[in-house]
Amino acid sequence: MYQTTIKKSVELVGIGLHKGSPVRLRLEPLEENSGIVFYRSDVDVSIPLVPQNVVDTKMATVIGKDGYVISTIEHMLSAVYAYGIDNLRVIVDADEVPVMDGSSASYCMLLDEAGTQELSVPKKVMRIKKDVLVQEGEKYVRLSPSVDLKYDFTIKFPHPVIQNQEYVLEFTKENYKNEISRARTFGFLHEVQYLRSKGLALGGSLENAIVLDEKKVLNPEGLRFPDEFVRHKILDAIGDMSLIGMNFIGNYEALAGSHDLNHKLTLELLKDPENYEVIELVGEKTKELEKAYA
């Protein structure tokens, strides 16, 4: 199995969640061993996708360099990771990635349009060798060894529409597209009002998020899945875990996980080489993983 990139450049324009301004995003192919590299065309700054470049995790995953940032990268990265794309240049002309409809479905369609191509170097993946846990009170995120890849997420919200939800994704590209990619981000009306008072979430609307008041969902079309909330948390986690720089083989488990805990998990994983091994996918051992990204 070989490293991949996209076959052709593609682009879209969408609204940025926080500024509410149009943002142009363009994806371009990159050669092998390049990884994922972001580029701010408005200020001529490249930001490689590595955990050390994460500068904020409060409302979204934000990377930065030399004082310039790119926010809300996790939805697009979730799709890129699910498609098994190793090398990619992501160009934006502002400080955030377009939110589109609040899910990653638009990015899946963009990647379908771009197509994928194999390069000449074997694909590298990270095999989790030991349990890695980050816990804060009741909340935790964990990676554990496994022969496949599973995301098991539980959320608890004291809201009549959400309450306790758990979802387990047995990861394949098709399962991701069908079960996860359409799940939208969500927020509460009082939070949106507060954020707007601070000059944030200016682009947020019922077109790109599920919004709840104290009792119900305000979106007239309702939910796409009864458990759309926890499915979106898995979407976020897949995007956040792409910061380790390659696909991994192992299980991810979370109780009330967040962007912040996911970032801490990537740092905890990478700080001890005993936690993992990087393997090149050559010969027979690639067959199962090839199915996952077919």
Which one of the listed residues 18, 75, 232, 259 is annotated catalytic? 259
Residue 68: closest CA among 99, 36, 94, 35: 94
- Token duo for residue 21: 């301004």
- Sequence-distant (6+) residues with CB within 8 A of 263 are 51, 54, 57, 61, 240, 243
Report CA-CA distances (Å) from 137 to 55, 134, 140, 141, 257.
23, 10, 8, 11, 11
Residue 64: closest CA among 44, 74, 49: 49
- Token duo for residue 255: 């109780």
Give the CA diameter of the chain.
Answer: 57
Q: What are phi and psi of 185, to 5 degrees?
A: -65, 160
Question: What DSSP element (H or E) covers 294?
Answer: none
Determine contact, residues 79/54, Cβ cutoff 8 Å. no
- Token duo for residue 237: 């986690």
The yes-or-no answer on residue 259 being catalytic is yes
3-state secondary structure of 145: coil
CA distance 103 to 210: 10
Report CA-CA distances (Å) from 162 to 152, 204, 211, 284.
17, 20, 12, 44
Catalytic residues: 259
